[in-house]
Structure formats: structure tokens, C-alpha cells
Structure 1
Amino acid sequence: MSRPAIVLAMEPSRTEHVLPEGLLQRLDTVGHLLDSKPLQHFNDERARRLLAEAEILITGWGAPYVGPDIPAAATHLRLIVHAAGTVKGVIDDSIFEAGIVVSHSAEANAVPVAEFTLAAIIFAGKRAFRFRDLYVADRNRDRTYPMQREAIGNYGRIVGIVGASRIGRRVIELLKPFGYRLLLFDPMLDAAEVAGLGAEKVDLDELMRRADIVSLHAPSLPSTRHMIDARRLSLMKEGATLINTARGILVDEVALLSQLKTGRIDAVIDVTDPEIPDPGSVFYDLPNVFLTPHIAGAIGLERARLGEMAVDEVERFMIGRPLLYQIHQANLENIA
């Protein structure tokens, strides 16, 4: 069997560590890597030459849009593997209609998000950020000692998971060794399926009322836009924490900031809408907000998992084994 021609398309500055030298060597063993330098455009002479030979295309963050012109430009193309998370906004529907197989590495990106969420839940339960701020401000323990007698900590706390996505399920699995009580809202699952995951099925309003910590893992869809609105935020307990590592669009941020300004609830926010808040946003200044710049997903060395998963899929494809992470056109509507 001849080795298939493989082409890369991604932004090098955004995908460092995704395909380190060892993975590039693996790719060149499975197939013929035409050029280790990724394409950043599909409309120049180099791109036209490589695409004309390509049988497998590996994309990543910053890849040019794989649009309806690609099947004509890459007539031998059989497989696209996205070595990143969502393919939305990267791969056009016409690619599926052309019969090109599509897979992705979103499962690999789910691992660090779930780990980040676990850490956020544990810190939220311990009120770690408020302890830190008081301790640093006072440089004594006059106010932190009394806080330790409050009804805080992680034993027996109620955690509400919004969305049994791949990340939501991983978070549930990671939480099992701890003494949490788990609530799950996901309209796609029945009570027996939720119980099988180790949680209690509830509607979203009940979850918002009962949970000490609410963690969002729903996809960004028209139906989920601002699903966490002013009314639902008002249902949260005094001292509860909202964690968002999913999509900023899930939350009505005007309503969230209104609640946060009162000090009634806390928030751990890794994603916002827009992606970077305005420089004057109070997200940066509120003491009850722990704000991070979209780092829950794969960063640094964690990105190697994305490349490993992509190369594994290429190997499976070449020996005729079923792909583990293939995406079908019918799935696109409900994936993140």
C-alpha cells in the first residue's frame, strides 16, 4: 500500500507543541508528509500544489476555512482530522457532502478543561479565593479564622453540572472520589441515564436553586444562548459559585455582573462574550470573580494530546479500523 500524502493546515504560533518532532516522524511513517510547515492559506501557489496531492489534511487552531472550493482543489482528499476542539467555523458542510471523512481531537481538549473545572470546584468549595484576598489584605488571620467556622468546605456540597457533554461527563467522573452530591441538567438524558452517570436528574431551575456550585458544560447553540439569565441567577444560593469553562454566550453577562456586584455569589470565569472583555469591564476588578483568559482548554504541553489523538486517527484510517472520533454532518447541530 502506498503511503498517503499528508498536508498540515494551522497557525504555527497557536499550535506549538501540537505536533512535536516525534509526532511528525510518526506521521511520515504512516503516510508521506509533504511539508512539515503548515499551510496558513489555501489560495497561494504552494497551497494549490500541496492540496492537489493531499489525501489527508490535518487542521488545527488558526487553520484557513475548509470551504466548498476544497474538494475541487484537493481531488484526492479522503480524510480531514482537526487537531483541536470544535470544527464549527472551520469545516464547511460541503466537505461532508463530498464524502470526505472528518474527525477531531475535541476529546483530548476535554481532559484539561475537566481538570481545570475540578480544581475550580474544590477551590470554590473552600472559598479559597476569598481566604487569599483577606489574608493578603490583613496580613494576619483575624478575619480568616472566623471564616473557617462557616458552613463551607467540600464535604457534602451540592455540585450542579449543566450539560452532559464530553467535558461534563469527565467532570462528573473526576468528582466521584469526593464527597459531593451531584445534580445534572441535560434534556437529552432520562433519569436512568443520569443515575448511571452517578448524578440526580433535575431541571435547570432546580439545579440553580439547590447547587452550591454550578458548572457550565453546555454547547453554544441558539437554544442555549443566555440560558443562565437574570431570573436563574437570582435562584442561586447566597455564597454559591458559578463556574463557566464552556462558552461566554451561555450567560447573560449583564445580569451576571449585576448579581456579582452585590457580593451575593461568586464566579470562576474562563470564557466571556466577547472573548476578551472590554478593558473597563468590572470582571477584572470584582473581588468575588476569578477571571482567567480562556486557559482551561489545552495550553502548552497539554496540546500534545491533540496531536497524538489526530495521528492515532490517521493510523486507524489507514489500516481500515473504525475512527474513534469521527464527526457526521448530522452531529454538527448539537456539538460544541
Structure 2
Amino acid sequence: MPSAPLPRAVFAMDPVHLPPLFPAPLLARLRQTAEIDPGLVVRDFADPVTAPALAAAEVLITGWGCPRLDPDALAAAPRLRTVLHAAGSVRPLVGDALWERGIAVSSAVTGNALPVAEYTLAMILLAGKDAFAHRDRFRATHARPSPADTAAAGNLGRRIGIIGASRVGRRLLELLRPFDFEVLLHDPYVDTAEAHALGAEPLSLEELLRRSDIVSLNAPDLPETYRMLDRARLALIRDGGVLINTARGALVDPDALTDELVSGRLHAVLDVTEPEPLPAASPLYRLPNVFLTPHIAGSLGNELERLGRIVVAELERLATGLPLAHEVRLADLARVA
């Protein structure tokens, strides 16, 4: 009995991402499950060169740099039934036309959540040890700190406030379990029982800000979360408290945050800002109480292969008639990134 033909798939992303997402062994595994030309990567759905491949495509493997799947793009792919996104949020990619067509969507966002949670854990531990200030002091004095210099440092019993039990937030909560922290959580979609199961004490946002030593912002970027940390709420964080933002800059009032940091009252670890990048004249580049990184918490380097593995596993599930393990539904987009 002849075997069923492989589904036809097409890559759609910035080609620079293809090699790290799908290194040779993983690409070979993908090609055992789908008919795909690795040399053809769509950047423009109106490009006549890619028109024949898109017209036959049943699966679109997307990534960073993929154009939005608007009605014109979908018209170029009449046989398309599944989009496998080898990146995080699908919000910028999909629209009403895709859902109306009944096209299934899967995202590797869970794979991208892990390195963000790992970065955040590392920053929590370093901030608790006051490592950044000690580094600067050591550079200047070449002397070991005195007991007075380290009296306020240490991670025993630190109160860690997690804003958002998102995918990143949940991974972070898992990673925090082995440590001697008091973990607090604010998420309007998580009830008391679930918060306790996650290892955290549920609190209102205001109470979490008042009680936390270190606040980690892990909420999705939604209209409801825009500027959720405004001037009044930032003022609730205790003097010397630390804000870690690996979510999106839009969740924090940038002027209010800058004022708090310039005053020296708060410390911050910022992997995301608004705007991004900051203007060259921003004081945040130079403040000793700010640790600023260029949006590196998510998958990069060899971590990108984790996202490719998720896509290939989803393609294998499709080929064997199994449901997608990481399907994104329209209803999900109301409360996730």
C-alpha cells in the first residue's frame, strides 16, 4: 500500500533565522515529515518567485520577520491549513482572516519562555546579592567589602513579587522553588488555590508592590496591561527595591520609571524598554543602579534550536493525526501575548 504523500510546507521569515532554528540534523528530520525547499524562504507574500510554492503550501513555518498573514497573503496560499510559528507571540502575525479560514496555529512560545525565566532567575539572585553595586565598588577600590557594605545583601527570605502567571511567569515560579524565597503573585486570572499550587501567595498588585524586595514583571502586553506600573504604583515599591522587566516596556510608565531611577530610590534590571532601544541621551545607560541589556532574555544563539524542535515535533504530530500540542486559539489572544 503506497504511503501518503508528505504535506507541502514553506518557510516564511527572515532567512537569517533559519540556520539556528533548524540546524542540519533537525532540518533533515523536518524533511522526513514534510516536502519543503530549505532554499526558498518567503519574505513577501506578493513575490511572484514564491507564488507557486505558496499556492501548493499546506503548512507555513513562520518566524521573526514573517509578514502579517493578511487577506492578500492568505489568498496566495489557498491550500494552507496550518501555521507553525517558530517564535513567540503570534499576535503580530495573525488576524481575523486567518481565524475565519479555520487555519490552525501553533507557537513555540513555551520554548521561548524558558530562557526568559532563566535570565530572570539569574538577575533575581544577583540583585539579592547586590552583585552589580559590589562589582562597581570593587572596580573602584580593589578592596573586599566590609560587613557594613554587605549587611543588606543576601537571598535568604527575599520577597519576590511575580506580576503575571504567564508562560514565563510559571516557568519562573518553577525555577524559584528550590530557593529560600517568599514568593508573591499577582494575576487576575489565577485564584487562591492555583496560586498556592504554583508556590506563591496571591496578592493584589498594590499589596505585592508594597511587600516585595524584588518585583519581576512577566505580564503579557495587552491593552489592559498598558502602563500598569504607573507613577503611583512604582512609588509603592520600597526604597532600594528592584524592578526586573523582561516583558515589554509598554507595561511601565517610562517617565515615572526614569524619575525613580535617577533619584536612586529604586534599582532596575531592564531587558526591555520604551522606546526600544532607548535614545542615546537616556540616563538609564549610565546610572549605577540600572542593569540594562538589549532584549537578550529570550531565545538567542543555540537556544533558537529549541524553538525549531517544537515546530518539528508539531509537524510530526500533524503527520500522524495527533492534535497540535501548542495550539493557539483565538480566545487565548484576549489574555496572552
Name the TM tier (shorter chain): over 0.9
Query: Structure 2 CA distance, aligned partners of 1:300 and 1:327?
Result: 25
Note the 1:190-201 alignment, pairs <5 A. Answer: 190-201=191-202
- Name structure 2 gaps, 5 residues minimum: none
1:218 maps to a residue whose letter is: A
Match of 2:229, SS?
A: coil
User: Distance in 1 between the 2:188 and 2:129 partners?
Assistant: 30
Amino acid in the other structure paired with 2:128: G
Matches within 5 A, 1:291-310: 291-310=292-311
Q: 1:88 aligns with which of 75, 87, 91?
A: 91
State the secondary structure of the residue aligned to 1:33: coil
Structure 2 CA distance for aligned equivalents of residues 31 and 203 of structure 1: 48
Identity of aligned residues (%): 49
Give deviations 1:141-175, integer Å, cap 9, x for gaps.
3xx22445413210111000000001001001000
What residue in structure 2 maps to residue 266 of structure 1?
267
What pairs up with 1:210-289 in 2 under 5 angstroms?
A: 210-289=211-290
TM-score (norm 1): 0.97
Question: Greater shift after overlay, 156-165 or 88-97?
Answer: 88-97
Per-residue Cα deviation, 1:153-198 (whole angstroms, up to 9, x for no partner): 1011100000000100100100000000000000111111111111
Output the CA distance in 2 between the equivalents of 1:24 and 1:38: 14
What is the CA–CA distance in structure 2 between the aligned matches of 1:36 and 1:154, rounded to whole Å?
50
1:43-62 alignment to 2 at 5 Å?
Answer: 43-62=46-65
Once the two structures are TM-superposed, the CA of residue 16 in structure 1 deviates from its matched residue by 4.1
- Equivalent position of 1:99 in the other structure: 102
| Contact 1:247-1:271 within 8 A present in 2 as well | yes
**Deviation string, structure 1 residues 306-328 (Cα, Å, up to 9, x no partner):** 11001111111111112111011
Match of 1:79 among 79, 82, 88: 82
What letter matches 1:121 in structure 2? I
* 2:192 is aligned with 1:188: no
User: Does structure 1 residue 67 correspond to structure 2 residue 67?
Assistant: no
Query: 1:256 is aligned with what amino acid?
Result: L
Runs of 4+ in 1 over 4 A off after TM superposition: none
Counterpart AA for 1:251: V
Report if aligned partners of 1:16, 1:300 keep a CA contact under 8 Å in 2: no
Once the two structures are superposed, residues 278-330 of structure 1 have per-residue CA deviations (whole angstroms, 9 ceiling, x without a partner) of: 11111101110000000000000000001100111111111111211101111
Give the secondary structure class of the aligned counterpart of 2:41.
coil
Counterpart-to-counterpart distance in 2, 1:15 and 1:277? 28
Offset of residue 24 of structure 1: 1.5
Letter of the 1:12 counterpart: P
- In the TM superposition, what are the counterparts of 1:165-176 in structure 2 within 5 Å? 165-176=166-177
Shift of the 252–100 alpha-carbon distance from structure 1 to 2, 3 Å rule, reads: same
One-letter amino acid matched to 1:317: L
Q: Distance in 2 between matches of 1:136 and 1:15?
A: 41
Q: Give me the whole-angstrom Cα distance separating, in 2, the residues matched to 1:68 and 1:334.
A: 24
Matched-pair contact (CA < 8 Å) for 1:15–1:61: no
How far apart, in 2, do the equivalents of 1:137 and 1:164 lie? 40
1:183/1:202 contact within 8 Å kept:
yes
Pick which of 232-241 and 29-38 moved more.
29-38
More off after superposition, 61-70 vs 303-312? 61-70
Render the CA deviation track for 1:6-42: whole Å, top value 9, x for unaligned: 1001102245401111122111100111343311111
For residues 151 and 187 of structure 1, the distance between their equivalents in structure 2, rounded to whole angstroms, comes to 32
Contact 2:217 2:247 in 1 (8 A): yes
Asked if structure 1 preserves the Cα contact closer than 8 Å seen for 2:46 and 2:73, the reply is: no
Secondary structure at 2:178's aligned position in 1? coil
